[in-house]
Amino acid sequence: MPEVNPKILRWARETAGLTLQEAAKALDITRPERLEALEAGAEHPSRPLLLRMAREYRRSLLTFYLANPPKRGDRGQDFRTLPSDRSIEHDSDLDALVRDLKGRQSVVRSVLEEEDEATPLRFIGSRRMSETAVAVVRDIQRVLGIDVAVYRAKKSYEDAFAYVRERAEAAGIFVLLIGNLGTHHTAIPVEMFRGFAIADRIAPFVVINDQDARPAWTFTLLHEIAHLFLGATGISGSRAEKEIERFCNDVAGEFLLPVRELDALDVDDRTREAVAIERITEFAKERLLSRAMVTYKLFRGGKIGRETWRKLDGAFNQLWLADRERHKGRAEDGPSYYVVRRHRVGKALLKLVSRMMDAGNLTPVKAARVLGVKPRSVYPLLVDIAFVPEVRGGI
């Protein structure tokens, strides 16, 4: 068995956000000095200890046998404005997620190129921030063929999101819902990442953090599609303080709620908070929009000031957290693993993998890599993909 590079031990602990004392306690090591000695190479860890490290540091066992600590994931541009108290552990998980996603996207691109299906998508990188948000919205509507009236006629937030996702996938964009590394223990908060776009002209990817509220998914999808039209690969957070983030928010907001419609919403800085919450909630529900998005549009449209927007946004976030807490524990009554996984991966990727496997151009191992599952799960996942139902849940 190969020896473990002690630098890996220190890297794994630090990226898990643990001090020597915290890690020693979690690993059931009596003295922190012993862990320090292991990280200095003065001692060699036993296999049982490595297994405990893999569990506590949330790393695969194979990671500890790498020659050197992995490099930070190439995220493209980082469009986020992060909270000062962010967790190092979440940073590490996000790096791992980005590495995984870029690896999956590269396989998809390679498969398309090998099968002469690599038709460049001309809309990727076709727009500029010097244009108005309205002009970009019109172009997205033309390319994707989305009708806002059809969107609003849907019966639920999930149906409305499915409609926009279907139109995006029909245009050649792969849309995935991923917010962890495969387990709820590695869930990445929305504050760390809300969406990720790979602006590749052959195989563009949009990834939405499914830890977010479902009514917000469509807005995030359109925000990331705006990044694709700008040709900007990168990661987005929940705070839009950078110019490009404000622009993409304006595109998504104008797409779903043209500024002229705000006149129908009687809310300003003088409106009592409880009344404003009630009016915004009703307004958003009628149009299948998230309340946070409507509030942001009120702020960007000049109907409320920054302080009012912050207060209302915080109130809606607390309401969502409370609602999410109420729905915890209902997973046993939910859909099966494969139904959920199909929904997360999306029809476009499932159908591409199925077609390429049928043609013998993709092995089960590579298919598993693209789909983010174990090889033994590939065939069950591809059963009946012609109909991939949308997963229902609490709003």
Does residue 286 surpass a pLDDT of 80?
A: yes
pLDDT value at 157 more than 90: yes
Give the integer Cα–Cα distance in Å for 389 and 380: 15
**Residue 17 and residue 163 share a domain:** no
**Banded model confidence at residue 1, pLDDT cuts 50, 70, 90:** very low
Q: What is the pLDDT of residues 19-47, one digit of tens each?
A: 899 999 999 999 999 999 999 999 999 98
Higher pLDDT, 277 or 321: 277
Among candidate residues 65, 87, 104, the one where a domain is terminated: 65
Q: Is residue 114 part of a domain?
A: yes
pLDDT of residue 184 exceeding 80, the answer is no
User: pLDDT tens-digit profile of 238-267?
Assistant: 777 889 999 999 999 999 999 899 999 999
Give the end of a domain, one of 65, 91, 108.
Answer: 65
Residue with tokens 């299906």: 117
What pLDDT is stored for residue 305 in this prediction? 96
pLDDT(75) > 60:
no
Number of domains the chain is built from? 3
| pLDDT score at 224 | 97
pLDDT at 343: 92
Is there a single domain that holds both residue 129 and residue 227? yes
Confidence at 306, pLDDT banded by 50, 70, 90: very high
pLDDT at 68: 81
195-198 vs 205-208, strand pairing mode: antiparallel
Q: Mean pLDDT highest for which of 14-28, 51-65, 208-222? A: 208-222
Kindly state whether residues 57 and 147 are assigned to the same domain. Answer: no
Going by pLDDT thresholds of 50, 70 and 90, the confidence category of residue 187 is: confident
Query: 102 and 235 share a domain?
Result: yes
Q: What is the mean pLDDT of the segment spanning 342-365?
A: 91
Give the pLDDT band of residue 71 (cuts 50, 70, 90).
Answer: low
Give me the mean pLDDT over the 118-140 stretch.
Answer: 95
Q: Do residue 30 and residue 172 come from a single domain? A: no
| Overall average pLDDT of the 154-168 stretch | 97
CA angle 66, 68, 69 (to 5 degrees): 95
**Residue 65: predicted pLDDT:** 79
Domain stop point among 203, 226, 256: 256
Determine the pLDDT at residue 393: 41
Q: Which of 68-72, 201-205, 306-310, 336-340 has the lowest mean pLDDT?
A: 68-72
Q: What is the pLDDT of residue 391?
A: 46
- Model confidence at 87, pLDDT cuts 50, 70, 90, reads low
- pLDDT value at 115 more than 90: no
The answer to the question of residue 297 being in a domain is no
Same-domain status, 99 and 48:
no
pLDDT at 89 over 80: no
Q: What is the rounded average pLDDT of the residues 282-289?
A: 96
pLDDT over 90 (residue 185): no
**Is 51 domain-assigned?**
yes
Phi-psi region of 343 (alpha: psi -120 to 50; beta: other; left: phi over 0): alpha
Q: What is the CATH number of the domain that holds 17?
A: 1.10.260.40
- Kindly report which listed range (82-96, 202-216, 248-262) carries the lowest average pLDDT score: 82-96
Q: 213 lies in a domain?
A: yes
**Closest C-alpha among 204, 186, 180, 208 to residue 196:** 208
**Domain identity same for 88 and 170:** yes
Please name the residue ranges forming H helices in 216-363: 217-230, 243-256, 273-286, 291-300, 306-327, 337-345, 347-358
pLDDT at residue 204 tops 70:
yes
pTM: 0.80
Cβ contact 304:297 at 8 Å: no
Given a cut of 60, whether residue 73 has pLDDT beyond it is: no
Q: 174 — phi, psi (to 5°)?
A: -90, 125
Helix, strand or coil, per DSSP, at residue 175: strand
- Minimum mean pLDDT among 21-25, 138-142, 387-391: which range? 387-391
pLDDT of 205 over the 80 cut: yes
**Terminal-residue alpha carbon distance, the chain:** 50
**Which H or E run includes 26?**
helix 20-26
Q: In terms of domains, do 111 and 242 share one?
A: yes
Instruction: Give residue 22's domain range.
Output: 6-65
